[in-house]
Amino acid sequence: GDITGVTVAGDGSIWALYRGERHWTSGSFRQDNTMSNSTRIPENVVMQLHADTGQTITAWGAGQFSMPHMITVDKEGAVYVADVGRHQVLKFSPSGKLLLALGQEMKPGLSNNHLCKPTQVAVALDGTIFVSDGYCNSRIVKFGADGQYLGEAKVPHMASGATAVVHSVLLDECTDTVLVAAREAGKVHAFRASNLVYKQTYDLPMRVWALQMGPYGKALALTWEVHKDAMIVEVGSGEGRAAWVVPGLQQRYPHDVALTAAPTALTGAAERLFALLVAPVCGPPGCGPLLKYVLVPVDYQLPKNFDGGSKGEGIVSKVSPVMPAGWRELRWGRPAFILVPAAVLGLGVTLAARQALRN
C-alpha cells in the first residue's frame, strides 16, 4: 500500500500515513468531489515508528479514514490528519482519540465550516491551525486552536481555468510567514501568518509536492516531474539557491518529505547527520516502505567500509554493515549545484504524463 504522509514529532519519532489497499484512481471521486467508495479503510492508517529501527511504536485509525493525505504532529504531540475523502482535518491524541474535526464529514464545500479535499495542516505554538484547502478551493484557511474560523486567503497567480492544487503548507513563526505549495504551477506562495496578507511568490523548477523546514532555518521544497529526478530546493529568491537531486524517484511519485536525525548505526553517539524521509505514492500495488536517505556533507568522510557515491552526486549507495539496510547516501553541501532555468533542465512533460501524476 501507499505511504502518503510523513512527519517527525518533537520526541524524534516518525509518524506516517498508510492507505492500506485504498488507492486514488481516476474513479475515486465523482464530479461533485464526493467519494465513489464511501467505506472506511479497514487497516490501521496512522503509524508511529522508532526513528532508528523503524519498528512500529503504535498504530491506530482502522475504520476512521477514507483517503488520508498528509500528517502533522504539534508541539503537544497531537496528531492531525488531512483526509481528502472525508473533506476534513482530524485532530487526535497520540493514542488515537479524536479531539477535533474541521470541515463537514463527506460533504465538500466552500464556506467557513466546509473544506474540499484538504491536503495538509501546519500548527502554531499557540495551537492556531493553518489548512491547505486543497484540491478544490485553492485557499489557505486559518482556525483557532478550538476550531473557530479565523480567516482565509485565496492562492494567487492562477491562470483562468488552470488547476490550482494547494498541496502543502509550512509555518515559519520566526518570520510570521506561512508558505503554501501550488503544485501544478511550480510555485510557493508566502503569506503573513498573523493576518494572511499576501507577501510574495517563489518560482521553482518543477511541481511542488511538499514543504519542510530545513536544518538551518531555510524552507525546503520537494519538487518532481514524471520521468525526472526529484529535487530538494531551497525556497527563496535569486539564483544562488541550493538544490539537491534525490535519486531513485523518477517513477516513485514522491508525495511528502521529512527531515530527522540519521540512524546511530551510521553516526554513533556523536553529532548526528540529517536524514531525509520520502513518502512515495506509486498507485497499485503500492510502493511499500518509506524511502530513506542519509544527508552527507560534501566534506564529510564516511567510514572506510562504506561503499557509496562520490561527493555531490547523490548516488544510491550499496548496503553495507555501516549503512543500515534500506538507507541511501545523498551528499548534502552548498552548493551541490546551482539552479538553472527550467527550460535548460528540460522539465516539460506530455499531457498524458501529467494526467498520470498521482495525488
Distance CA 329, CA 246 (A): 10
Cis peptide before 297 (omega within 30 of 0): no
Nearest residue to 180 via CA among 242, 137, 228, 127: 137
> Does residue 123 have a known ligand-binding role?
no
Distance CA 232, CA 253 (A): 14
Using alpha carbons only, how large is the chain's radius of gyration in Å?
19
The Cα-based distances of 248 to 13, 39, 278, 330, 331 in angstroms read 25, 34, 11, 11, 14
Provide CB contacts within 8 A for 220, sequence distance 6+.
211, 212, 213, 214, 232, 233, 234, 235, 257, 259
Given a contact cutoff of 8 angstroms between Cβ atoms, the answer to whether 116 and 33 are in contact is yes
Exposed / middle / buried, residue 341 (Cβ in 10 Å: 0-12, 13-18, 19+)? exposed
Question: Is 178 within any annotated ligand binding site?
Answer: no
The answer to whether 69 is a known ligand-binding residue is: yes
Backbone angles phi, psi at 32, to 5 degrees: -90, 10
The answer on whether 23 is annotated among ligand-binding residues is no
358 labeled part of a ligand binding site: no
CB neighbourhood size of 108 (10 A): 24
Output the CA torsion sign for 333, 282, 8, 48. negative
C-alpha cell at 216: 538551518
Check the annotation: does 114 bind a ligand. no
Nearest C-alpha neighbor of 172 from the set 131, 218, 126, 237: 218
53 C-beta neighbours (distance < 10 Å), count: 12
Report the sign of the C-alpha dihedral through residues 231, 234, 238, 240, in that order.
Answer: negative
Binding site members for Ca(2+): 6
Binding site members: 6, 19, 69, 135, 167, 183
Binding site members for Zn(2+): 69, 167
Binding site members for a protein: 19, 135, 183
